[in-house]
Amino acid sequence: MMPQELAPQYDPSGLEKNVSQQWAEAKSFAATPDDNPHPYVIMMPLPNVTGALHMGHAMDNVMQDMLTRWHRMMADNALWMAGTDHAGIATQAVVEKRLLELEGKTRHDIGREALVERIWDWKEQYQARIVRQQQAMGCSCDWDRQRFTMDKVCARAVSWTFFHLFQDGLIFRGTRLVNWDCYLQTAVADDEIVYETVQGHFWHLRYPIIDPQPGEPHYIVVATTRPETMLGDTAVACHPNPRGALERLIAKTQERLGVASQKERTEIEAELERLKQRAETHLPLLEKLTSMAKDGRMVHLPLLDRQIPLICDEWAKPELGSGCVKITPAHDPNDYDVWARHSDTIGLINILQIDGSLNDNAGPYQDLDRFTAREKIVADLQSQDLLEQIEDRETEIGHSERSKTPIEPYLSEQWFVRMGDVEGGVVCGRGTLKEFTTPGLAQAAIDAVEGSWSSPSGRQVAFHPDTRYGHTYVNWLAEKRDWCISRQLWWGHRIPIWAGTFSGQVLTEKLTWLEPYLSRDDVTARLLHADGSSQLVQPGSAVQHVEGVEYSKDDTMQLLVCLREPPAQEQLGQELEAAGLARDPDVLDTWFSSGLWPHSTLGWPDPASAEINPGQALLGGQNGVADCLSFYYPGSCLVTGRDIITLWVARMVLMGLYNLGDVPFTDVFIHATILDGKGERMSKSKGNGIDPVDIIDRYGCDAMRYVLCEMQTGSQDIRLPVQAISPYTEEMIDLATAKHGRTIFTYVCPTSGKEFDVLGTMPDIPSAKLVSERFEVGRNFCNKLWNATRFALLNMEAATFTPLQVKDLALEDRWILSRLSRAITEVHGQLEAYNPSAAVVAAREFFWSELCDWYLEMIKPRLREAGEAETARQVLAFALDQVLRLLHPCIPFLTEFLWQRLNEHAPHRGIEQALEVPELITRAPWPRPQDAWQDVQSERDVDFLRDVIRAIRDIRSQYTVPPKQTVQVRIKVDSVTGQAAQILEAGSAHMSQLAGVASLQIAADVERTADAATAVVGELEVYILGVVDIEKERARLISRITKLTGTLEGTRKKLANENFVSRAKPEAVEKERGRLVDMESQLETLSTSLSALG
């Protein structure tokens, strides 16, 4: 096939599709275990199947792809595992919402099975869309291995992990106060709550005191932002020692005042004054109440006519409110703690039903929604004169991230993973060669990133680009809070537990029936005592144990049976159900399965028997080569944003350690978060989120990737100004400065004056695409690369390869090879340091500022000359080859396309020897720097020539000499045989080509004509003849002299400073001396020229 000439302009649209197809056909990204000792593994942070990808995903994916492609070129066996997350609550919420909107039905109308089926449909649709987006971004994942967290292979890993944690006593069931989403009717994790400030009230309630003695108050005032919770009050607390507490606080505040800054002072002084005042006004009453509490006095709970005790607890703060606090243990976490301290004297009353309405403990308010009840209660209290005051107040209300409804603290039975240290420690990697014992799960994950610890294989986890995110990780884990893993949802991995509550003889019967199953290694059971503790039912000893002393005949106990294997869950599960046990309806927290991602995807616990989807690459070992799990685990690098360091990274580390005894990866690369032009986090719901596909459509994927790489500098945030494309005029409108329309999601097009929206939710006005002009830079870069290649190919009709000796090459050839070698070292080093921006800048700098701006220009005359052209072509082809390789991890499509064109024109490339040139660039060997090519002398010589050329160009520009007009130049040198003269002589062709020099005279005694402008380059005087306007030249020279004199004075002063000369490093002093000499000589030349002007 005849090589085709490239079009003069780069157009990414068709190109990227074709290249994509080539990669797919060649299965370029397939990874299979082999005898390569260097696997490189990245596990993709799995996007949720709730929606399309955004710019944050683009950044994340591009960073991963860059690392993967780089390692693939370095001949590592590189696996990038792709996949998606079922994202339990998020996905179910989206599908339920649609169900309601489109069909007016709730999940209860259609039932569990039908809902789950619908969510699967949704998942298929979105997963396909996500994969298309990732492929459009050039992601070089092994697409034959992509997974979904609910795939069978992953489900088995989830079940196994649950089973072992349960068996080890690390998973337990308990009644705890959880965050309850009344809309979705599930527990949600602390991190799934967003706080919003709302205008609320602070109600001060009066609780009458029963039988007040003379001198005692008739009521106690307590304040609340949620008055309906009073129905669940079981005590009122006051501080056991209010005077002591208040005095301590006053002392502490005084101390703070001592060290406070000026600004804080007034505030602290006011606070101090308030506290002192309060001691006067409130203490007598509070002390009275304390003594009454110690006396065991009771308080009347209004509306319900209950008596509740007055108790002493330090949770009551004498400095706040009335100094007393109502205690609602079932609906407030702090009150729950108070209850835990006083559980012998006070009760615990739940007043809520799962939908947020009140239950039968609420008496007359039963079945009212909690907010309706609130109004009614306030009104009722008011009518009984029990409302002392209503204060307006801003309050922070926790809302569920998914349903956007207010969260209620709610007492319910949930499953937890024990994160803290346990007696006897936790065995990690049980049964493997890497087995070791750790104090607890959280501690194991903390150890993994700290100091001297290393896994049995010698690994540990390091954060990049710096260690500060290690602190986030450790601080979070150090709390060792138990992890609530149950969710009352239908979408997710169902908890593999069957439970039944039995007592006495029946329990014994059940255990006897269970006995034979317990000898199987995939069945385990525990008995849950009323106090929350549990014991493993041991095979062979179950019956005896039960008949022993552990519990009395009348005790009621919960029998929990856990099944490890999903198939057994089907069969044995039915038997258990027939025996009166019921499967736990809950599903697991999404992070439970994503925490297993690095090994569940590889077939853990047994790759050979892993059930993968049809057509997918096998996981078991073949032909004597290791299976995927042992080959690809532990992996290499995790790439993610900082928002899920705790949720995900920490969990992967601890799950990996627990199941396999080793960390899932050794490096964690935390990339920047993308913000909009106002510094706000990008998100679709904020109306500032850019869809990567819109950028790809407009600028091309490579352009987007180039800019993303260049932006990744290591700082924590990146601002990306966002523009909307006006649907009326197609103009770009900057959202940071544009005028809003009727809502914050609409803007006014300044030209047409019409309104558009950015969310796509306004039915009556058109919506605008969001893009960013920042990506133009990337497109321009791609165009430059396209055209540089185009130029090379136009000159390469007869390219051949002949082994060359570097020392025989022309100055510019030696120079470009030396610079190339440096650039390779730099790019490689910056990639190793997780600094993509610096890597890309180094590649660009070499390619654009050196190869294009100078080398190409310098060899143009040679390319036209037979005899000279061959070598120039060969060096050019080689340099281009190396540039394409260096840029491939960043801009894969274009480099792949150009690589193939280069292969057509110049299939054999190299300098001393021919390079390995594969058909596709994806597996082209990564460039290596050549020490032998480092040529300081040629670099210095070319720098010098460039300085002279620039000086001439500067003068030409200053005197507006038309580009086509040539100039005569005379250069005064010390000696015509000196080095400078030789370089100039050798470079005269370049000067003519690059600075329009028609005639060049180099001599020690050149004459300066009256119409000559003077430039000084180092020690040389350069005269450009026939351009001068005397006044202008005088002004120019004076300006130069003034500037130079200033610097010169500074240097002189420095050197005159005795301290500098004696104390600074000798090199620094030497440097200054050298500069001084240079500047003095330049100044002299300039002064001479000035005076010559007359």
Partner RNA sequence: GGUCGCAUAGCUCAGUCGGUUAGAGCGCUUGCCUCACAUGCAAGAGGUCCGGUGUUCGAAUCACCGUGCGACCACCA
Restricted to residues 926-945, the positions that interact with RNA (CB under 7 A) are none
Task: Mention every residue, 6+ apart, whose C-beta is less than 8 A from residue 537.
Answer: 511, 514, 518, 524, 525, 526, 527, 545, 559
Report in angstroms how near the CB of residue 257 gets to RNA at its nearest.
13
By CB under 7 A, how many residues form the interface with RNA?
A: 101
- Residues 961/1033, Cβ–Cβ less than 8 Å: no
Residue 463 binds RNA, judged by CB under 7 A:
no
Binder of RNA out of 53, 55, 130, 222 (CB under 7 A): 222
CA distance 772 to 720: 7
Binding mask 856-895 for RNA (x = CB under 7 A): xx--------------------------------------
- Residues 1076/1004, Cβ–Cβ less than 8 Å: no
Binder of RNA out of 376, 430, 923, 950 (CB under 7 A): 950
Residue 282 binds RNA, judged by CB under 7 A:
no
- Residues 505/557, Cβ–Cβ less than 8 Å: no
Window 701-760: residues binding RNA (CB under 7 A):
711, 713-719, 721
In terms of CB distance, is 319 or 627 closer to RNA?
319
Binding mask 764-793 for RNA (x = CB under 7 A): ---------x--xx-xx-xxx--xx-xx--
Window 119-138: residues binding RNA (CB under 7 A):
none
Report in angstroms how near the CB of residue 807 gets to RNA at its nearest.
27
In terms of CB distance, is 223 or 981 closer to RNA?
223
Window 6-35: residues binding RNA (CB under 7 A):
8-11
Window 677-706: residues binding RNA (CB under 7 A):
677, 679, 681
Report in angstroms how near the CB of residue 988 gets to RNA at its nearest.
18
Beta strands at 717-720 and 723-725: parallel, antiparallel or unpaired: unpaired
Report in angstroms how near the CB of residue 474 gets to RNA at its nearest.
9
Structural tokens at position 942: 């070319």
- Distance from first CA to last CA of the chain, Å, rounded? 69
Structural tokens at position 1052: 């002189």
Window 351-380: residues binding RNA (CB under 7 A):
none
**466-475 contacts: CB < 8 A, separation 24 or more?**
466/714, 469/642, 469/645, 469/668, 469/670, 472/642, 472/645, 472/646, 473/445, 473/449, 473/645, 473/646, 473/649, 473/650, 474/446, 474/449, 474/450
Give counts: helices (H), strands (E), the chain. Answer: 32, 38
Binding piece for RNA, criterion CB under 7 A, among 76-84, 140-148, 558-566, 956-964: 956-964
Which H or E run includes 414? strand 407-417
Residue 475 binds RNA, judged by CB under 7 A:
yes
Report in angstroms how near the CB of residue 992 gets to RNA at its nearest.
12
CA distance 740 to 734: 12
803: number of Cβ within 10 Å: 10
- Residues 633/457, Cβ–Cβ less than 8 Å: no
Binder of RNA out of 350, 472, 825, 1087 (CB under 7 A): 472
Report in angstroms how near the CB of residue 20 gets to RNA at its nearest.
21
Window 262-281: residues binding RNA (CB under 7 A):
262-264
Task: Mention every residue, 6+ apart, whose C-beta is less than 8 A from residue 84.
Answer: 46, 47, 48, 49, 123, 126, 127, 130, 146, 147, 148, 149
Binder of RNA out of 957, 975, 1001, 1009 (CB under 7 A): 957
Report in angstroms how near the CB of residue 1068 gets to RNA at its nearest.
4
Binding piece for RNA, criterion CB under 7 A, among 138-146, 470-478, 544-552, 870-878: 470-478
Residues 1021, 1025, 1029, CA angle at the centre, nearest 5°?
105
In terms of CB distance, is 768 or 1048 closer to RNA?
1048
In terms of CB distance, is 183 or 315 closer to RNA?
315
- Residues 922/140, Cβ–Cβ less than 8 Å: yes
Binding piece for RNA, criterion CB under 7 A, among 287-295, 474-482, 652-660, 662-670: 474-482
Report in angstroms how near the CB of residue 82 gets to RNA at its nearest.
26
In terms of CB distance, is 401 or 515 closer to RNA?
401
In terms of CB distance, is 186 or 835 closer to RNA?
835
Window 80-109: residues binding RNA (CB under 7 A):
none
Looking at the DSSP bridge assignments, the partners of residue 413 are 175
CA distance 638 to 665: 7
Residue 1068 binds RNA, judged by CB under 7 A:
yes
Binder of RNA out of 685, 960, 1042, 1091 (CB under 7 A): 960
In terms of CB distance, is 822 or 1054 closer to RNA?
1054
Q: Dihedral (C-alpha) 968, 969, 975, 978: value to the nearest 10 degrees?
A: -110
Residue 321 binds RNA, judged by CB under 7 A:
yes
Q: Tokens 């020490």 map to which residue?
A: 931
Binding mask 658-677 for RNA (x = CB under 7 A): -----------------x-x
Residue 156 binds RNA, judged by CB under 7 A:
no
Binding piece for RNA, criterion CB under 7 A, among 359-367, 390-398, 506-514, 968-976: 390-398
Residue 1007 binds RNA, judged by CB under 7 A:
no
Binding mask 565-604 for RNA (x = CB under 7 A): ----------------------------------------
Residue 324 binds RNA, judged by CB under 7 A:
yes
Buried b (16+ CB within 10 A) or exposed e, 837-855: bbbbbbbbebbeebbbebb
Binding mask 792-811 for RNA (x = CB under 7 A): --x-----------------
Report in angstroms how near the CB of residue 376 gets to RNA at its nearest.
18
In terms of CB distance, is 534 or 837 closer to RNA?
837
Report in angstroms how near the CB of residue 325 gets to RNA at its nearest.
3
Q: Dihedral (C-alpha) 130, 133, 137, 138: value to the nearest 10 degrees?
A: 70
Binding mask 1037-1066 for RNA (x = CB under 7 A): ------x---x--xx--x--x-xx--xxx-
Residue 317 binds RNA, judged by CB under 7 A:
yes
Binder of RNA out of 369, 522, 555, 954 (CB under 7 A): 954
Window 814-853: residues binding RNA (CB under 7 A):
837-838, 841, 848-849, 852-853
Q: Per residue, what are the HEC states of 518-586?
A: HCCCCEEEEEECCCCCEEECCCCCHHHHHHCCCCCCCCEEEEEEEECCHHHHHHHHHHHHHCCCEECCC
Binder of RNA out of 88, 309, 323, 664 (CB under 7 A): 323
Structural tokens at position 34: 């082999």
Window 180-199: residues binding RNA (CB under 7 A):
190-191, 195
Beta strand spans in 305-383 (E): 306-312, 324-327
Helix 88-103 / helix 107-136 crossing angle, nearest 10 deg: 120
The backbone torsions φ and ψ at residue 938, rounded to the nearest 5 degrees and listed phi first, read -65, -35
CA distance 547 to 538: 13
Window 55-84: residues binding RNA (CB under 7 A):
none
Structural tokens at position 682: 């990008």
Least Cα distance to 1078 among 1003, 1017, 1037 occurs for 1017
Binding piece for RNA, criterion CB under 7 A, among 123-131, 219-227, 435-443, 524-532: 219-227
Window 613-652: residues binding RNA (CB under 7 A):
642-643, 646
Beta strands at 556-563 and 497-503: parallel, antiparallel or unpaired: antiparallel
Length of the chain as a residue count: 1094
Looking at the DSSP bridge assignments, the partners of residue 499 are 560, 582
In terms of CB distance, is 323 or 496 closer to RNA?
323
